[in-house]
Amino acid sequence: MLLKMQLKGNAGLLQDQSKKLSPKHSKSTRVTRSAWKETRIALSKIIYTSSFHVLTVFSTWFSSGLWPMAILGWPNIEHPDFLKLFPTSLLESGWDILFFWIARMIMLSLKLTGKVPFTEVYCHSLIRDSDGRKMSKSLGNVIDPLDIIRGIDLESLHGKLLDSNLDEKEIARAKQYQKTAFPQGIPECGADAMRLTLASYATGGGDINLDIKVMHAYRRFCNKIWQASKYVLGRLPTGFTPDESSTPIHLSQKWILHRLNTAAQDINNALTAREFSKSTQIIYQSVLSPHLGLLY
């Protein structure tokens, strides 16, 4: 309805302007027929641009609410994906769009399908920089995940600012922040360390102040697991095949298997309860604890 009213108003504006500029109503101004035609074309372009902008904004907000059904073949409710996968079970999202997007999806789904699109919503914390500020391009504190995985030097970080659309003052402010936060650039952390760090931050509480130093520490932790696994595999004979029917004989073997099974059970329970930070703590303690760690 909003779109129709807007288009109707634009049409009325074009009609009013056309009457004012028509040769029949403008003898005193002596507007030529060609000038009148050019004016109508110009007005039509302006009105089309305005209507297209309204249509784009309207479609963006409206279609976002249709996302749970639209990706599964809706409005064809007989589509195999729709029949098999709708409704879904879990939606993970940021709390800042809880009413802008998630509530819209639920209302439209109930209206159009009669079903709630998902039964659980997990709201994660919002990632901020190490100073607790919201990430913004003008501040230069937006961190590309690929830069964390691969690593990047300070000059390359500055170069990304020059490729943006920031003005000179914003670029200068962003460079100053990068010099303070990343004086040596961002060290290579790897994908596993980044995943483990973000999971450890998922406490369900406030925002996340992302610190590269913490992520780099988790990289060293992941490296310890890799080195330990590499050592064990290197000690096994060629063509080794585990014997699933064998039972542990020595007390040390029983203790290792007990610790491993206990850790696996505790991690699964934490993941089921959506306590992702707790699951990472269990992994860390199970591997590196001086008293209970498997590497000790």
Specify the pTM.
0.65
Interatomic CA distance for residues 130 and 181, integer angstroms: 8
Rounded to whole angstroms, the Cα distance separating 32 from 76 reads 55
Q: At what angle do helices 33-65 and 2-21 cross, to 10 degrees?
A: 170
**Do 197 and 214 form a contact (C-beta atoms < 8 A)?**
yes
Q: How far apart are CA 265 and CA 244, in angstroms?
A: 20
What end-to-end distance do the CA atoms of the chain give, in Å? 69
- Separation between Cα atoms, residue 135 and residue 128, nearest integer Å: 6
> Which has more confidence, 100 or 291?
100
Q: What are the residues whose beta carbons fall under 8 Å from the beta carbon of 163, sequence distance 6 or more?
A: none
**Tens digits of per-residue pLDDT, 232-265?**
888 888 888 877 777 777 888 788 888 888 989 9
Per-residue pLDDT tens for 146-204? 988 999 998 888 888 877 777 788 788 888 888 888 888 889 889 999 899 888 888 76
Q: What are phi and psi of 139, to 5 degrees?
A: -90, -15
Spatial distance between the Cα atoms of 227 and 220, rounded to a whole number of angstroms? 10
117 contacts 87 by C-beta, under 8 angstroms: yes
